[in-house]
Amino acid sequence: MTSYKGTIGILTGGGDVPGLNPAIRAVTIRAMREGYRVIGIRRGWAGLVDIVPQPDADNSECYKVLTEEVVNRAGRTGGTFLHSSRTRPSHLPKAMVPAHLADRYTDDINDITPDILKNIEFLGLDYLIPIGGDDTLSYGHRLYKEGVKVIAIPKTMDNDVPGTDYCIGFGTCVTRTIELAHTLRTSAGSHERYLVIEVFGRYAGFSALLPTMAGAADRCVIPEHPFDPEHLAEILTYDRNRHPSKYAVVLVSEGATMAHHSGMSFEGEEADQYGHKKLGGIGDKVASDLKRLSPKYNNGKRVNVVSQRLGYLVRCGDPDALDSIVPMAFGNLALDLILNRSNGRLVSVRNGTYDNVPLDVVVGTKKVVDVAKYYNTERFRPFYHSFAQRPTFIMTSDI
């Protein structure tokens, strides 16, 4: 019988991003070489919700023991082979309570954390490594406060997990946004139109601001500052008329809001277990307003619009170089902490240096763009100054 130093559980929660599988691989390879067993928990927190803590139960849909063979094969690919969900065990709808717990949790919304703790004990987990955004990691923080040894790894396309300059998935998101914006220019230029591209960013505008700074767009609107569609139409018409091919490009964060209008744009009213409705539609609203307002600034002539929502095109597929390297480092940082018997930490990058910070940061602060410092609200674009001593992604260390 093999003897282990301990058992490490790892899971991925929330939206998929490129770089998750390399992170799982890094944790597993290093952990096994250090004498630990690694259990991959399937479907995020849902795997821990659905476990039946009995030796003869079939829990194959809830977790699997990871091996070098499994993670080496998956580590070259995008997405997460452990799968993911937006399950929140502290706010679990009655319909999602597993059958073996149905008689104990009968409210419309239930906190089943006591049974999550039992399932962690059943699996024999000495450490738990959740990979996710602030929603997923906020429940990891809850478990840490309940006594579970948690080391967290930040992941999100929006790059909005506080405590770190960089989150897994952001590099690929920026790379793809730049590529797709340049690709879409051919249609906008051919028809002399405005090009409106809706990108990720619920509360933080990094995924719109960075590609714009890199030349992917003329302008951008971000969640941190409500915008006036009429002023945007005036600015974009100015850009269009100065361009030899008579077109202009604007990136619109999915969480952006219009001045004098109420709230964000949603696909529907249904919210997930973290209280978030699915965003979508602000790009089309901007496109409609630009078309309507364009004659006022274009000598009475209407300008048509190409409107495209990038959505899953920037989160699918293989990771870029940065989202292959950073997850490897994050996974090894997590093992460094475990070997040092530390817990309650978030691995991080700060000003180009790998580090770690207290896990409390994920519930204590919000990470958004410092508008006064980095965003020209009158011109709908980044400020291009003060680059000296800034991190790779310029405005991402102000937390």
Q: Is 111 annotated as catalytic? A: no
User: Which of these, 146, 135, 173, lies nearest to 44 by C-alpha position?
Assistant: 135
- Would you call 387 exposed, middle or buried from its count of C-beta atoms within 10 A (0-12, 13-18, 19+)? exposed
- Would you call 321 exposed, middle or buried from its count of C-beta atoms within 10 A (0-12, 13-18, 19+)? exposed
Out of 158, 160, 239, 323, the active site residue is 158
Q: Which string of DSSP letters, residue by residue, matches 283-321?
A: HHHHHHHHHHHHHHHTTT----EEEEE-GGGGTSS---S
Rounded to whole angstroms, how far apart are CA atoms 240 and 306?
Answer: 13
115 three-class SS: helix
Q: Where would I find the H helices in the chain?
A: 20-33, 45-50, 68-74, 113-123, 134-145, 170-191, 206-213, 229-242, 282-297, 322-339, 361-364, 371-374
- Would you call 133 exposed, middle or buried from its count of C-beta atoms within 10 A (0-12, 13-18, 19+)? buried
Contact assessment for residue 130 and residue 140, using Cβ atoms and an 8 Å cutoff: yes
User: Which of these, 393, 71, 83, 355, lies nearest to 382 by C-alpha position?
Assistant: 393
User: Which of these, 332, 342, 346, lies nearest to 133 by C-alpha position?
Assistant: 346
Residues serving a catalytic function are 158
